C-alpha cells in the first residue's frame, strides 16, 4: 500500500468540515475549538504538512490514523517526500506549515533564512552502529575500538567500509562523531565511509553482505535481524551520545508565531501520539505500516522495531538540545550549513512548554 497525498488531504479536510459544521450550531463552539484562534486573528484554515515515509515520523502516522488531526481547528493536508533535501527545496517556497524530517535538513532550512523553528522532537537515540558478525568478534576481543579497526585492516589488507546515508546526513554525522570522539579513529583516513543513499540501499547492502558496517535507524536493524543478515549492533547512540537528535518537527513562523494557539494544539496532538505509541505499540506499528506501505514496512517488522532501544519516541525538544549542538557543529564542518547554529536559532521551546 502506498500513500496518496491527495486522498489524505481530501479525507482529513472532509472529516474536519463535517465536524465543524456539526459543532457550528452549538453555542459552545469557541470553547470546543479553543485552539482555533491565533495571535493574528481567526487562525489558519489549513495546516500543510510535509513528511517522509520513515519510521522516525511515527507520530504523524498515529495522528493521521487515530483521527487526532481532525480535532484541530484547521484542516490538515499531508504531502509525502522521499527525502529531506526534497523537503528543504519545497520549504523554500514557503508552502508548508509543518515539516517532519531529520534535524540536519531542518538546520539547512533555518540556515537558508526560511522563518521556521523546531517545536518538537520525534525521536532520540535513534542510531545504531551495525558491524558484520566477524568484525563484532574482533571488536569484543580487541583492547580498544581503534585496535579493532587496525587489526581488521592488517588482516584484510583494506580498510573497514561503512555504508550509510550521504555526507552531512544524520546517520553520517552520528557515525563520524562516534568514530572520532568515542572510538578514537579518523573517519577520513582510518576507515572508508561510502554514501549509499537512503535506508533502502543500506538495507539492500546489508542483506547482500556488501558492506562491513553502517550507521542506521530503525527499522533497518530489525529487518537485518529478521532476515538473518550477519550483522549486529556494536554501539547505540543512547550509550555514547544521550539525547541524540534524529527526526524533528519544524514549524513555519506563520503557524508557530502568528497562530500560536494552533501551533500548541498541533504539538499537543503530537505529544498525545507519542504517548499512544508507548502505550499501544501494536496499534502504532500497524499505523506505521499503513502509511509507509506494507510492502516497505510489514506490520511484523514495524512491531518488532518498536521494542528496539533505538525506537525512543519523544516530543519534548529539550531532550535533544545538547545533541543538536553537536550536530550543528558537524553540519557546519561538512558544509551543509554556513555556520553552527545556536539553540536559540534552532528551537522554539515555548510551544512545547505552553502545553
Does 187 score more than 90 pLDDT? yes
Cell numbers standing for residue 328? 550543528
Clarify whether residues 191 and 154 are in a common domain: yes
Clarify whether residues 59 and 140 are in a common domain: no
Q: Which band of pLDDT confidence, cut at 50, 70 and 90, is reported for residue 318?
A: very high
Task: Summarize the confidence of residues 151-160 as an average pLDDT.
Answer: 97
84-91 and 103-111 helices, crossing angle to 10°:
20
Clarify whether residues 115 and 253 are in a common domain: yes
Does 34 score more than 50 pLDDT? no
Mark which of 174, 207, 240 sits at the end of a domain: 240
Does 41 score more than 90 pLDDT? no
Clarify whether residues 141 and 111 are in a common domain: no
The confidence score (pLDDT) of residue 39 equals 41
Clarify whether residues 103 and 181 are in a common domain: no
Does 188 score more than 70 pLDDT? yes
Clarify whether residues 251 and 235 are in a common domain: no
Clarify whether residues 272 and 216 are in a common domain: no
The whole-angstrom separation of Cα 205 and Cα 164 is 10
Clarify whether residues 274 and 338 are in a common domain: yes
Clarify whether residues 66 and 213 are in a common domain: no
Which of 353, 351, 352 has its CA nearest to residue 38? 351
Q: Which band of pLDDT confidence, cut at 50, 70 and 90, is reported for residue 42?
A: confident
Q: Which band of pLDDT confidence, cut at 50, 70 and 90, is reported for residue 2?
A: very low
What is the DSSP secondary structure assignment for residue 212, as one 8-state letter?
S
Mark which of 187, 222, 240 sits at the end of a domain: 240
Clarify whether residues 286 and 333 are in a common domain: yes
φ, ψ dihedrals at 155, nearest 5°: -80, -35
CATH number where 256 lies: 3.40.190.10
What would the pLDDT profile of 107-126 be if each residue is shown by its tens digit? Answer: 999 999 999 999 999 999 99
What would the pLDDT profile of 274-300 be if each residue is shown by its tens digit? Answer: 999 999 999 999 999 999 999 999 999
Clarify whether residues 250 and 117 are in a common domain: yes
Clarify whether residues 137 and 112 are in a common domain: no
Q: Are 75 and 12 in contact (CB under 8 A)?
A: yes
Q: Which distant-in-sequence residues (6+ apart) come within 8 Å of 273 by Cβ?
A: 58, 59, 60, 62, 63, 66, 68
The least confident of 14-23, 63-72, 131-140 is 14-23
Mark which of 240, 265, 281 sits at the end of a domain: 240
The confidence score (pLDDT) of residue 13 equals 40
Q: Would you call 249 helix, strand, or coil by DSSP?
A: strand
Domain range for 46? 5-123+245-353
Domain count, the chain: 2
The whole-angstrom separation of Cα 55 and Cα 313 is 10
The confidence score (pLDDT) of residue 25 equals 32
Q: Grid coordinates 553537536 are at which residue?
A: 326
The whole-angstrom separation of Cα 270 and Cα 249 is 9
Q: Which of 4-8, 164-168, 281-285 has the highest mean pLDDT?
A: 281-285
Q: pTM, whole model, 2 decimals? A: 0.87
Average pLDDT, the chain: 90
Amino acid at each position: 500500500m502506498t500513500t496518496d497525498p491527495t486522498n489524505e488531504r481530501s479525507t482529513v479536510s472532509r472529516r474536519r468540515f463535517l465536524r465543524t459544521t456539526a459543532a457550528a450550531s452549538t453555542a459552545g463552539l469557541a470553547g470546543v475549538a479553543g485552539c482555533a484562534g491565533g495571535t493574528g486573528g481567526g487562525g489558519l484554515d489549513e495546516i500543510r504538512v510535509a513528511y517522509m515515509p520513515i519510521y522516525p515520523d511515527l507520530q504523524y502516522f498515529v495522528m493521521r490514523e487515530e483521527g487526532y488531526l481532525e480535532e484541530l481547528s484547521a484542516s490538515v493536508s499531508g504531502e509525502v517526500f522521499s527525502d529531506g533535501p526534497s523537503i528543504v527545496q519545497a520549504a523554500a517556497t514557503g508552502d508548508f506549515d509543518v515539516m517532519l524530517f531529520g534535524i540536519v535538513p531542518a538546520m539547512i532550512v533555518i540556515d537558508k533564512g526560511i522563518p521556521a523553528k523546531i517545536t518538537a522532537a520525534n525521536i532520540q537515540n535513534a542510531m545504531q552502529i551495525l558491524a558484520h558478525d566477524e568484525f563484532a568478534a574482533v571488536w569484543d576481543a580487541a583492547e580498544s575500538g581503534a585496535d579493532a579497526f587496525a587489526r581488521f585492516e592488517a588482516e584484510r589488507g583494506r580498510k573497514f567500509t561503512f555504508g550509510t546515508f550521504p555526507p552531512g546526513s544524520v546517520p553520517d554525522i552520528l557515525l563520524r562523531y562516534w568514530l572520532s570522539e568515542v572510538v578514537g579513529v579518523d573517519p577520513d583516513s582510518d576507515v572508508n565511509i561510502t554514501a549509499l543513499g537512503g535506508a533502502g540501499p543500506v538495507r539492500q547492502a546489508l542483506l547482500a553482505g556488501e558492506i562491513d558496517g553502517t550507521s542506521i535507524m530503525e527499522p533497518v536493524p530489525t529487518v537485518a535481524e529478521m532476515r538473518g543478515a550477519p550483522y549486529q549492533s556494536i554501539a547505540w547512540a543512547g550509550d555514547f551520545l544521550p539525547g541524540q537528535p534524529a527526526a524533528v518537527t519544524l514549524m513555519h513562523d506563520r503557524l508557530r508565531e502568528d497562530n500560536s494557539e494552533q501551533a500548541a494544539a498541533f504539538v499537543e496532538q503530537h505529544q498525545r501520539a507519542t504517548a499512544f505509541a508507548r502505550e499501544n505499540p501494536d496499534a502504532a506499528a500497524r499505523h506505521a505500516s499503513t502509511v509507509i506501505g506494507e510492502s516497505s514496512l510489514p506490520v511484523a517488522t514495524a512491531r518488532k522495531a518498536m521494542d528496539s532501544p533505538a525506537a525512543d519516541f519523544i516530543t519534548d525538544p529539550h531532550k535533544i538540545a545538547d545533541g543538536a549542538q553537536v550536530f550543528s557543529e558537524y553540519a557546519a564542518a561538512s558544509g551543509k550549513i554556513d555556520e553552527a547554529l545556536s539553540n536559540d536559532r534552532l528551537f522554539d521551546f515555548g510551544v512545547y512548554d505552553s502545553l
